[in-house]
Structure 1
């Protein structure tokens, strides 16, 4: 919308004041209209292997899984959360 107004005769200064953004932002938008694709991050821990590991060793700590998968304990925790595997506590 802003770029259309710019092409129809509005100045950078007028558009910046009207929309509350800087002139340099509008200039960058005009220079680079297409959005840059960002590569999707891949998971370091294979979901199926982790699922099998949990089935095989259900009582292991995250630090023990981290040693087997050669990663950090936090990475194991994030992967387990992604798989919706939580620790069940019995009362």
Structure 2
């Protein structure tokens, strides 16, 4: 193993012949335990290190492989970090339900069922429900008052004796 210092960063580097990364971690943990270094924490590379690496790559005009070799990290990590920084394209798509048309429909047919609205707009019932919920509209809740029946009367008219 070799220790490398880049811009104040100390990196422990292993050659390919020295085993896999998992073997290297096991050896390092074993050595750390033998030396009573309990405070060693394995973390991913910091954002500061990643940004320095990308800045160096762009400033010197290096390729991904050259950058990976210079910083002694995997080329897959370099390409992944570059792709994470690039702005992603917007994934919004045009909605089938126009809000103004839905409001007009609710005003015109206030007692319509979701199923009927869905057929008029050519969408599923869940889409209507979500659009109404997003706009803050809800269906009127009708509470039905049941007539008393004999079974209900018996249940509520029972007298408890102690």
Supply the RMSD in Å over aligned alpha carbons: 2.5
TM superposition score normalised by structure 2: 0.43
Q: Residues 1-91 of structure 1: matches in 2 within 5 Å?
A: 1=48, 2-5=50-53, 7=56, 10-12=71-73, 24-30=76-82, 33-91=85-143
Structure 1 stretches of 4+ with a deviation exceeding 4 A read none
TM superposition score normalised by structure 1: 0.71
> Comparing both structures, which one devotes a greater share of its residues to strand?
2
- Once residues 28 and 84 of structure 1 are traced to their aligned partners in structure 2, the CA distance between those partners, rounded to angstroms, is 41
- Once residues 31 and 83 of structure 1 are traced to their aligned partners in structure 2, the CA distance between those partners, rounded to angstroms, is 36
Higher relative contact order, chain-length normalized (CA < 8 Å, sep 6+)? 1
Conserved 8 A contact 1:45-1:69:
yes
Structure 1 gaps, min length 5: 14-22
Structure 2 gaps, min length 5: 1-47, 58-69, 144-162
Conserved 8 A contact 1:66-1:76:
yes
Q: Whose radius of gyration is greater, 1 or 2?
A: 2
Aligned length: 82
